Chain A
């Protein structure tokens, strides 16, 4: 029976070429685009080097000094007591306002208070905001410099192509060494061969290259800097106030604990920070370390709400909405096309029912037809996705990042295709299966 339906589906598709083209185009284009978007997000947000630990990372980019003002207002109540009016005064405190000062933290705070969180596996401190202008044969080259501790190399698993990364001894000795990306090597030295022991001139100081890592273009600068230097070399270390400074802390939690546990530990750690340091600006009496997960950081980058987890929530809804839109729209379109296509075949439905098909047979037949059609669309969409990715990769839109075809996603989208097929086929099939036989077979349809 199924083989007959498949044969028929094939004939029907071939006979109505224009319809087939339109609907296949709709399905395959949607699926193709979805596949490309997914593989882009996978590359950008996925757990791949140097971001393999991403799900365990908690970031503290902001230290907030704050003070909340309270007003104390006397409230006078009249109370009847023993037939006599008496006055009872209570004091009520109301929050009047708050003053806040957000800035990145001083490395000292991270060194002193964030090293021993119970649920942390690793901690790294760095500044990723510095840019250096260097000159290669008289041409200016702007490099994104990251000043970090040695732990950076464990928290972020850059793929080391040559040489080594720096260690705690280099940090202590204020060694003038740097680890550079393959991109920097290519741009600065014109080659990626034998980079170790060469020198790179930054702001009048020669830094010895001790290693080179594979460059990955990412949106977030501290994941893909152009070069990394021990932060003991940084003139801005220990600058500003005891509280504020120029550093970001990333905590790699143990994978068996929830992010909220670490966030709470961070809140607790912040309460240990003394509030009586002479460098403290006037008027603040509280310090808060603003911690967020990686995904919250991304979400905040796109939808900037002060509250990172709120941003993530909104992002999730927006993404879900977009995805639904992407899927629902072509499905509706398909349903529409299918209705008119099946309508043309009312006489066939009438004949089948007259000769013994029941409602279920008819629905089954049309759903099979639709699934075949959408699977064809899915295969075409796969082709479109591969071509698009190839195009994007060779055009260099994504820098040195390449989109990789994702088999798992292909399987998901294939299943999605079948859902497409069933959903867009069911409604019209159901409607037509209920068709009255006599009407379906009317000799002269007007």
Chain B
């Protein structure tokens, strides 16, 4: 599903050069639930961003769903992300001015779908994360766990093949973290959604199919 070929990412400023990723080769097959671990600053987020086409590698090749994305322009990349990828962030990144259901609808705004269909898809996604009764709340009226479940609903509403989650349980206590994790596992089992998750929590990582460890930009396990 995702194939990384010799990916490196180097941040250069005038004075220093940081190698965030060093020649990573990684293959994530379709339907796998992969977790990535490693100490802070080792390049986990950078790797996930590159997989999610949010950032470009300094060198190397990425194939997503068999497609090389080298020659895509901004608009094509946006369309690709819209159709194939879903994102979950540690700090939720819900839009405070939008109601829960409007937040969930967001990815569908960039498709040609009728407003009515958008509504019903968003309602179904909220149902799937157990928040059908919070549709017209606003993000600041929700608990952290609920916010992250809204974010998951937003990530799955477009039925993407791949979900990329950067520390989705990082800001949650263990009970809420388990809830979120259960939803992700169910998604992976039932919908065969490929999931790549960055985590600091061994317990969460153990629940996934495979664990990749990074150290200083290099894959160590």
Residues of A within 8 A of B (CB): 1, 3-4, 7-8, 11-12, 15, 347-348, 350-361, 436-438, 441, 443
Contact = CB atoms under 8 A, between A and B. Distances in A.
Nearest to B76: A358
Nearest to B78: A358
Contact of B106 (A15, A351, A360, A438): A351
B97 A8 contact: yes
Nearest to A7: B102
Contacts of B55: 436-438
A4 B102 contact: yes
Given A11-B97, A11-B98, A354-B81, A443 B91 contact: yes
A438 B93 CA distance: 13
A284 B115 CA distance: 86
A8 B49 contact: no
B38 interface: no
Nearest to A9: B97
A179 to B, nearest CB: 67
Given A355-B82, A358-B75, A15 B54 contact: no
Interface string B98-116: 1000100111011100010
Interface residues of B, number: 31
A354 B93 CA distance: 11
Nearest to B171: A443
Interface of B: 49, 52, 54-55, 74-75, 78-79, 81-83, 86-87, 89-91, 93, 95-98, 102, 105-107, 109-111, 115, 154, 158
Contacts of A361: 78, 109-110
Contacts, number: 74
Given A348-B95, A354-B52, A356-B79, 20 more contacts: A4-B102, A7-B102, A15-B96, A15-B97, A351-B95, A351-B106, A354-B87, A355-B87, A355-B110, A356-B83, A356-B110, A357-B78, A357-B109, A358-B74, A358-B75, A359-B74, A438-B49, A438-B54, A441-B54, A443-B91
A356 B107 contact: yes
A352 B82 CA distance: 10
A1 B109 CA distance: 6
Nearest to A359: B74
Contacts of B86: 355
A414 to B, nearest CB: 27
B78 A356 contact: yes
A434 to B, nearest CB: 10
Given A12-B97, A437-B55, A438-B49, A357 B90 contact: no
A356 B93 contact: no
A352 B54 contact: no
Contact of A351 (B49, B93, B111): B93
